[in-house]
């Protein structure tokens, strides 16, 4: 994931935020801003992520529109001597970038900066990193267009840090306000920060609250050492925890020294059995590909199993949900209201790990939402978009059946086939309901499952 060819400052989330701001006609009083923080990230955890969001919250309260957040893992020339002096392990820059990418995969704004960690031969300190980000953004044509529309001259860059760093480096006096580079100090719970200085672009955020305030890289390393998946997942993300505690053969081999430092051994034969993607390369027996058709059912399973559920979901599983994507990931108040109306559990913090998994699988094309964007659902079981199932058929054909090594077959959407050739039912025998379901673009579970089964009998269907 984090390879030598990665962007110095990944821009996908930044561009999405720009597009959203442009669509809203945003003209923030103080202009547009991005936030950056640097650090060892040895490894990264959600405390680092939350520091950026606390800084963002403060800036938006005083009139900025924040359109990007970046974590920048420090250069090995800084991290390795520091780790040695503290008598702790120092993970390599490549490994820290990889883990950081996985930790923030589900965050809509936070990206991982590669520029600092990959500078050849020297360690650029945080002022230079801040200037590099600003220069990179200034060169983008979409930035210029947005600024012109918003009446601003540049995107302001704010460096976020803790109180110790701010005091040690004299940052309460500012960093480079003349160049549009400011400071946001984010204290820990119970810490007293100095006052703000808006004239020098210096602001002080509220401290983080709850469990995230207690996260630290030291505690994460201890949780890894004790193979505590739940603790690592809650401090980072399920995706990062799986990589750290259940690495695949290729992953473990690529970062052999780092996994050795963490005490994580290569996957055993028993572990390999849980990695369907690896079996084809290791001589194992392929397993049927599982497809989940109900997010509500997954949430109910989560209520009983928690993070253990993530271990049960195969890495190549498909998600075929009857909802709209915006019900699960609302982006504005109208979508949030609709989401709560349809199922108030969709956006609850309890299920954040499930939403992170959906985003991860969505990035690989393994998720299909049956109701398209903008669809106005009237609440009726058989109300849907008539064009939905042809699109679903195209989607499923993009995926490989591990039992045959070939793409899955198209969905059987010919009513005549169901009337004359359908014989051995598994989930429902009611032809009229099955046809009505796919012709209307509805998502009644039994008809959907029968359609999937008859079209591709090798699928393992979970509801």
pLDDT tens digits along 265-301: 887 644 544 444 433 333 446 789 999 999 999 999 9
* % of the chain surpassing 90 pLDDT: 62
| C-beta of residue 322 within 8 angstroms of C-beta of residue 385 | no
Q: How far apart are CA 270 and CA 188, in angstroms?
A: 42
Containing 48, the helix (H) or strand (E) segment is helix 46-61
For residue 460, the surrounding DSSP H or E stretch is strand 460-462
**Crossing angle (nearest 10°) for helices 238-245 and 93-103:** 140
Mean pLDDT in residue range 51-58 = 96
pLDDT (0 to 100) of residue 450: 95
Would the pLDDT of 5 be above 50? no
- Three-state DSSP class for 5? coil
What pLDDT, on a 0 to 100 scale, did the predictor assign at position 110? Answer: 95
pLDDT of the residue at 209: 80
More confidently predicted of 332 and 170: 170
Helix (H, G, I), strand (E, B) or coil at 62: coil
**pLDDT value of position 238:** 86
Residues above pLDDT 70, as percent of the chain: 92
Q: Is the pLDDT of residue 226 over 80?
A: yes
Q: Note the pLDDT of residue 172.
A: 96
Between residues 16 and 44, the one the model is more confident about:
44
- pLDDT of 11 strictly over 50: yes
State the span(s) of the chain assigned CATH 3.40.50.620.
Answer: 12-214
**Model confidence at 153, in pLDDT bands (50, 70, 90)?**
low
Average pLDDT over residues 159-166: 96
- C-beta of residue 165 within 8 angstroms of C-beta of residue 40: no
Mean pLDDT of 56-71: 95
Between 145 and 33, residue with greater pLDDT: 33
Which pLDDT does position 402 carry in this prediction?
87
Q: Name the DSSP letter for residue 178.
A: G
Annotate 410-437 with DSSP letters as a single string. PP---HHHHHHT----SS---HHHHHHH
What per-residue confidence (pLDDT) applies to 380? 86
What per-residue confidence (pLDDT) applies to 248?
Answer: 86
Mean pLDDT lowest among 16-20, 124-128, 336-340, 444-448: 16-20
Span 387-396, average pLDDT: 93
Kind plus residue range of the DSSP H or E element containing 183 = strand 181-185
Give 200's DSSP letter.
Answer: G
Please give the pLDDT value at position 321.
Answer: 96
CA distance 459 to 392: 15
Mention the CATH class of domain 12-214: alpha beta
Q: Which residue has the tokens 């579970």?
A: 445
pLDDT of residue 364: 82
pTM: 0.62
- Per-residue pLDDT at 386 exceeds 70: yes
Query: Residue 308 and residue 184: Cα distance in Å, rounded?
Result: 38
pLDDT of residue 280: 37
Written as six digits, the tokens of 398 are 């993009």
């Amino acid at each position: 994931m984090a390879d030598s060819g990665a962007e110095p400052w990944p821009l996908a989330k930044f561009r999405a935020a720009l597009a959203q701001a442009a669509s809203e006609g945003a003209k923030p009083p103080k202009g547009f801003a991005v936030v950056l923080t640097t650090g060892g990230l040895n490894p990264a955890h959600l405390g680092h992520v939350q520091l950026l969001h606390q800084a963002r919250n403060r800036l938006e309260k005083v009139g900025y529109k924040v359109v990007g957040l970046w974590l920048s893992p420090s250069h090995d020339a800084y991290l390795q001597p520091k780790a040695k002096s503290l008598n702790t392990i120092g993970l390599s820059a490549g490994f820290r970038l990889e883990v950081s990418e996985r930790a923030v995969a589900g965050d809509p704004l936070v990206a991982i900066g590669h520029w600092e960690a990959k500078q050849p031969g020297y360690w650029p300190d945080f002022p230079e990193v801040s200037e590099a980000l600003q220069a990179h953004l200034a060169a983008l044509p979409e930035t210029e267009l947005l600024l012109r529309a918003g009446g601003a001259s540049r995107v302001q860059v704010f460096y976020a840090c803790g109180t110790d760093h701010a005091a040690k480096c004299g940052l309460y006096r500012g960093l480079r306000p003349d160049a549009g580079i400011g400071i946001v100090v984010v204290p820990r719970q119970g810490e007293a920060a100095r006052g703000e200085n808006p004239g020098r672009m210096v602001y002080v955020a509220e401290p983080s609250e709850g469990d995230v305030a207690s996260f630290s890289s030291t505690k994460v390393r201890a949780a890894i050492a004790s193979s505590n998946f739940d603790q690592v997942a809650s401090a980072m993300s399920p995706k990062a925890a799986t990589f750290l505690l259940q690495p695949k053969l290729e992953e473990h081999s690529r970062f052999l020294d780092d996994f050795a430092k963490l005490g994580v051994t290569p996957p055993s034969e028993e572990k390999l059995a849980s990695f369907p993607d690896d079996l084809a390369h290791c001589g194992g027996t392929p397993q049927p590909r599982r497809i989940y058709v109900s997010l509500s059912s997954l949430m109910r399973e989560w209520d009983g199993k928690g993070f253990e559920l993530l271990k049960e979901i195969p890495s190549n599983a498909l998600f075929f949900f009857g909802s709209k994507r915006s019900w699960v990931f609302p982006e504005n108040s109208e979508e949030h209201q609709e989401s709560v109306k349809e199922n108030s559990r969709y956006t609850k913090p309890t299920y954040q790990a499930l939403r992170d998994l959906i985003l991860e699988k969505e990035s690989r094309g393994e998720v299909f939402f049956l109701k398209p964007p903008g669809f106005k659902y009237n609440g009726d079981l058989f109300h849907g978009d008539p064009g939905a199932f042809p699109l679903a058929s195209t989607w499923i054909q993009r995926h490989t059946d591990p039992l045959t090594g070939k793409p899955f077959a198209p969905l059987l959407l010919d009513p005549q086939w169901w009337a004359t050739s359908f014989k051995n039912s598994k989930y429902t025998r009611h032809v009229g309901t099955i046809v009505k379901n796919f012709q209307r673009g509805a998502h009644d579970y039994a008809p959907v499952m029968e359609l999937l089964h008859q079209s591709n009998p090798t699928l393992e269907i979970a509801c």
